[in-house]
């Protein structure tokens, strides 16, 4: 259990530890390809050293014990005494996995035991004797001294051992030995007891100082300078007077970075949202005043001020929005390990290519995309890419390619998963959809090849009995689609038999402030997120027909479902002025509205507890003319209906 006085430091440790673990895992995977790269070895050693130091201060013994042996192993590789190998990589990756799991247990207030098998394996890899237990299963003091590389203290009196421990730097002082000796002192013995107390007091003071320094020095995401013990570093700085100056510059740069609680960012976003609403009202009022008043110096001045405020608010909105943005690198780099492990299971050789890892996305969206991407990557490896033997027969390189790609296009962020595997056979997809009763023969006849491929996103399409060519391609696809739609995104699929498959997801840059199309339905005004809208057609020029008992819009020889929005909203019908075509997920649909009022940047406000969740309404906003407008959630309105034609 973490003491209350250390809770804040523990929370900081978790953030730092997760960053180091992600970096460490990435470095180990890179070392598998480039085992002689000294920079990677040094970086991995530093991360493990930092993890051990932070865990030691907080008394997370299981992490300290495991990280200590892993650090020793990396130290020998760093010194050239051992060569990095696949077996060493496996052991170190298992260490990373254990530390991740241990942190979760410590977070929940549960106790954690060090993995003795893993520790012994790490010792064996560095040609050291494994930790042995006595016949009754108890650890002896000599075992612990061997475990922490203090064999020279074996056989010495307890007082001498404690004296030696006091002289060690705090981050090299094994707390487990101190605790063990403390328990050995069953009756009051002044000298050892005093030494134990002195050791504990000095440890607490020095470790607190070290942690405070390390928190500052690792506040940036860049790798810190190589950490060494305090005394050697001081000697080195004395010999090289230029070093302290570099360190001061580094410290100065790092002190510019400040960690901020996410809730504070949310509050700031809400305030900026209110400012955007008032900005809209101001601009509208000033425009009306200018139109209805003869030009004079006052109207010109007010118009100039309003224009300046418009620009400043826009810049402020963009700046605050960027505080919520994070690079997709943190999401993508997790898949190096996923691809490595899964490719071994399925017996395939895969090259993972990551493109656009510096592309930034809203944090709230990014956090929810790991599971959908895991579905897509697993499907590509398991069912998309062929085995090396199959690829050779097909004239392809034995190593398959899997691409994770991110990029901006307009006000959207695109994430893509692409492979050069066997692709999807539309004929088999159509046959399976027909067998499952998801479409009729009449509907299939009117579908393009791309429309047929999109059937894999329908819930219930995928089953365990699917033929091998498309087996798994639908597994989790409806879950992926739902995640995308929940963030007002779109998803599409391209595939060519024998060439490969690409799945593309697009998301808005931010989730709080959006540009919307304002429309009226039976005299009531609604807002529709404008990124969903692909076309607006005047009703008098639209071609509407009935097909299979349903109204459809004929657009460039394609039949699109024409939705009765009045029925969905349970309001009386009115005259139709326009037909709006929207792209929902991966399907185009159309619906009628009475009139249009242009587009406007709006702030999405929740309806609150009084109204609860209204079906088809995602929130409300206040427009520039001061009116309250409900925001239509077209995705939710259509979610439980089948409008395929």
Q: What are phi and psi of 414, to 5 degrees?
A: -110, 135
Q: Tell me whether residue 389 is one of the annotated catalytic residues.
A: no
Q: Where are the alpha helices (DSSP H) in 218-296?
A: 230-239, 242-254, 262-292
Q: Which of 171, 379, 383, 594 is catalytic?
A: 379
Domains of the chain in sequence order: 4-240 (1.20.120.160), 262-318 (no CATH), 326-508 (3.30.565.10), 513-638 (2.30.30.40)
In sign, the C-alpha dihedral spanning 148, 153, 158, 162 is: negative
Does the pTM exceed 0.75?
no
- Provide the pLDDT for residue 405: 94
- Provide the pLDDT for residue 197: 56
Divide the 645 residues of the chain into consecutive groups of 10 and give the mean pLDDT of each group: 73 85 89 89 89 83 88 89 89 91 86 86 76 53 77 72 71 72 52 52 54 51 42 40 46 56 78 83 87 85 90 84 83 87 87 91 84 88 89 91 89 89 88 81 79 80 45 61 81 89 85 80 86 88 82 84 81 85 80 87 71 71 79 72 43
Closest CA relative to residue 451, chosen from 423, 426, 425: 426
Q: Tell me whether residue 558 is one of the annotated catalytic residues.
A: no
Do the Cβ atoms of 400 and 348 come closer than 8 Å? yes
Q: Which of 20, 22, 25, 49 is catalytic?
A: 49
Q: Tell me whether residue 30 is one of the annotated catalytic residues.
A: no
In whole angstroms, how far apart are CA 580 and each of 28, 176, 569, 592? 52, 69, 16, 6
- Provide the pLDDT for residue 345: 83
In whole angstroms, how far apart are CA 121 and each of 114, 128, 210? 13, 10, 30
Q: Which of 65, 71, 176, 418 is catalytic?
A: 71
């Amino acid at each position: 259990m973490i003491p209350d006085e250390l809770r804040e430091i523990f929370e900081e440790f978790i953030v730092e530890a997760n960053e180091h673990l992600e970096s460490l895992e990435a470095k180990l995977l890179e070392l598998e390809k480039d085992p002689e790269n000294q920079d990677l070895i040094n970086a991995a050693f530093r991360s493990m050293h930092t993890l051990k130091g932070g865990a030691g201060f907080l008394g997370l013994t299981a992490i300290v014990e495991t990280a200590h042996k892993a650090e020793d192993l990396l130290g020998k590789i760093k010194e050239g005494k051992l060569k990095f190998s696949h077996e060493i990589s496996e052991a170190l990756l298992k260490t990373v996995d254990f530390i991740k799991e241990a942190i979760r247990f410590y977070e929940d207030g549960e106790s954690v035991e060090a993995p003795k098998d893993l520790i012994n394996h790490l010792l064996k890899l560095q040609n050291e004797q494994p930790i042995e237990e006595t016949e009754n299963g108890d650890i002896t003091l000599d075992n612990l001294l061997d475990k922490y590389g203090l064999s020279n203290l074996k056989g010495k009196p307890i007082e001498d051992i404690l004296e030696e421990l006091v002289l060690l730097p705090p981050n090299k002082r094994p707390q487990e030995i101190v605790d063990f000796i403390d328990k050995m002192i069953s009756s009051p013995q002044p000298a050892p007891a005093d030494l134990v107390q002195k050791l504990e007091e000095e440890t607490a003071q020095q470790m607190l100082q070290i942690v405070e320094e390390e928190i500052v020095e690792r506040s940036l995401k860049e790798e810190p300078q190589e950490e060494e013990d305090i005394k050697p570093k001081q000697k080195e700085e004395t010999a090289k007077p230029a070093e302290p100056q570099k360190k001061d510059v580094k410290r100065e740069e790092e002190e510019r970075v400040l960690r901020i609680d996410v809730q504070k960012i949310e509050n700031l976003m809400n305030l900026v949202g209110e400012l955007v609403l008032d900005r809209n009202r101001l601009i509208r009022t000033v425009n009306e005043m200018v139109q209805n008043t003869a030009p004079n110096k006052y109207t010109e001045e007010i118009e100039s001020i309003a224009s300046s405020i418009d620009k400043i608010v826009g810049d402020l909105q963009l700046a605050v929005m960027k505080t919520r943005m994070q690079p997709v690198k943190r999401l993508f780099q997790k898949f190096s390990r996923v691809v490595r492990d899964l490719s071994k299971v399925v017996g395939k050789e895969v090259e993972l290519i990551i493109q656009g890892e510096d592309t930034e996305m809203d944090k709230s969206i990014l956090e929810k995309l790991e599971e959908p991407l895991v579905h897509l990557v697993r499907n590509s490896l398991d069912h998309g890419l062929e085995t090396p033997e199959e690829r050779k027969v097909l004239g392809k390189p034995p190593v398959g390619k899997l691409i994770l790609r991110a990029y901006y296009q307009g006000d959207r962020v695109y994430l893509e998963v692409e492979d050069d595997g066997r692709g999807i056979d539309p004929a088999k997809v159509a046959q399976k959809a027909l067998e499952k009763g998801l479409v009729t023969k009449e509907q299939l006849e009117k579908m393009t090849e791309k429309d047929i491929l999109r059937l894999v996103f329908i819930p219930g399409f995928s089953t365990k009995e699917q033929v091998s060519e498309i087996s798994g391609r639908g597994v989790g696809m409806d879950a992926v689609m739902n995640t995308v739609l929940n963030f007002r995104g779109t998803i599409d699929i391209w595939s060519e038999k024998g060439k490969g498959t690409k799945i593309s997801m697009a998301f808005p840059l931010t989730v709080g402030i959006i540009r919307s199309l304002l429309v009226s339905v039976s005299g009531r005004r609604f807002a529709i997120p404008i990124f969903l809208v692909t076309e607006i057609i005047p009703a008098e020029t639209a071609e509407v027909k009935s097909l299979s008992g349903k109204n459809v819009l004929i657009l460039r020889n394609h039949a699109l479902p024409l939705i009765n929005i009045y029925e969905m909203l349970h309001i009386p019908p009115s005259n139709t002025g326009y037909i709006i075509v929207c792209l929902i997920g991966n399907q185009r649909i159309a619906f009628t509205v009475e009139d249009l009022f242009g587009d406007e940047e709006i702030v999405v406000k929740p309806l609150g507890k009084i109204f609860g969740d209204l079906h088809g309404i995602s929130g409300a906003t206040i427009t520039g003319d001061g009116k309250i407008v409900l925001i239509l959630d077209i995705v939710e309105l259509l979610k439980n209906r089948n409008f395929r034609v």
